[in-house]
Each structure stands twice: as structure tokens, then as C-alpha cells.
A = this chain, B = another copy of it.
């Protein structure tokens, strides 16, 4: 067993495994998975191919591990948004939408890592596919839960619509076909929440 917090030799450097994952993150996101060779990752991480293969069985496993981290980041953001509006599912839903909307400018250059990766990995048995599908399913279930808590009629449909819109906004931002996608995304999600709100409900209050 290695000590839990290793101290790097002399420079203030992260341990190799973290540097590799950071470098992979940057390169996979900006260039795509298949365009990036293991050697390029090693160079950017200031290490060698051998070091990479000491920490990850194959390149495919490294890809999967990267996506696991990205998925965990999204879940953490989801958690944070929920914690900011305790007991207010409507604000939680809009908060999630806001989180995605705010991320759109950064995404505009290369888009959503899950959407892009699934396009690059047609093989359904690829380890990264499992990560993506599990993540998407968790996110959807979580959104259904929020919609149900918000008392929306037909929470599954509402969650599906919101999911469509969140994904579509990222795609449309990436291909540049629509302007002000963030703002439009927020209006769209508000429209969906409105549409499925139980009759007589007033925006902004879930329990009187």
C-alpha cells in the first residue's frame, strides 16, 4: 500500500496518477478521445507512457476513469444546487438548469463530454459506455424525483422534456445554430415547469 497522501519529490507537483488524469481531461475534452494518443497524454502530464500503463490497464480504462470523474463532478454540482434550495424542488430544478446554462459558454467550443464520447465509442461494450449510461440514468431518475417533489403532473414526462432541452441546448451551442442559448434554455425550462404545475399553484412556493 502506498501512503494516502504522497509527497512529490521536490517540485510542487501532483502525484503522477493525478497529473495523468488532468492531462487526459484536457486533451480528451478539447481534441476528442481517438485523436489523442497515449504519448501525448504522457507529454502533457510530464511523465511517460510507461507510467500511464502502470496506473491504468489500457487506454480505454483511462477513458472510463476520466468519465467517472466528470460524472462525479456533475453529481457534486447537482448536490450543491439542491443544498442551496432545501425543500424547494422548483428552485432546485431551475438551479440545475442554471448550472447547465452557465456552463454553456465554456462548452461552446467542444460540447458535452458525454455526448461527444458516446459518439466516438460506438462499441456498446466499451467500459466508458457503462459509465455514461449509468450517469445519464441516475441524472434522469434524480430529475424525475425533483419533478415529483415539486408536485408536477406527470413527473416522468416533465423530466424527459427537461432532459431533452438540457442536452439539446448543449448540442445547439456547440454547432452555433442558435444565439443566446443560455437565456433561451432557462426560459424553456421555466415553460416546462409552468406547464406541468398543478392547477392553482403559485410560482416560488411549494408548501404554504
Is there contact, CB below 8 Å, between A168 and B164? yes
Query: Copy number in this complex?
Result: 2
* Minimum CB–CB distance for A49 against chain B, Å: 21
Q: Which residue of B lies closest to A185 (CB)?
A: B164
CB of A176 closer than 8 Å to a CB of B:
yes
Name the residue in A31, A114, A116, A119 with the highest tally of chain B Cβ atoms < 10 Å from its Cβ: A119
Q: Which residue of B lies closest to A111 (CB)?
A: B119
Chain B residues, CB < 8 A from A139: 177
Is there contact, CB below 8 Å, between B178 and A172? no
* Minimum CB–CB distance for A155 against chain B, Å: 13
CB of A30 closer than 8 Å to a CB of B:
yes
Partner of A34, one of B34, B161, B181: B34
CB of A35 closer than 8 Å to a CB of B:
yes
Bound together, the chains give a CA A158 to CA B28 distance in angstroms of 34
Chain B residues, CB < 8 A from A46: none
Q: Which residue of B lies closest to A178 (CB)?
A: B160
Given the contacts A31-B122, A187-B157, A195-B195, A133 and B164 also touching, CB distance less than 8 Å: no
Can you sample 8 A-B contacts with CB below 8 Å? A34-B120, A116-B119, A119-B119, A119-B120, A120-B120, A161-B191, A164-B165, A167-B168
Since A110-B122, A168-B169, A191-B195 are in contact, a sample of 20 more A-B pairs with Cβ atoms closer than 8 Å, ordered by chain A residue number, is A32-B120, A34-B35, A115-B115, A119-B119, A133-B175, A136-B175, A139-B177, A140-B177, A157-B187, A160-B181, A160-B184, A161-B191, A165-B165, A165-B168, A166-B168, A167-B168, A167-B172, A168-B171, A191-B191, A195-B195
Closest 8 CB pairs of A and B: A168-B168, A164-B168, A136-B177, A119-B119, A167-B168, A116-B119, A167-B171, A160-B184
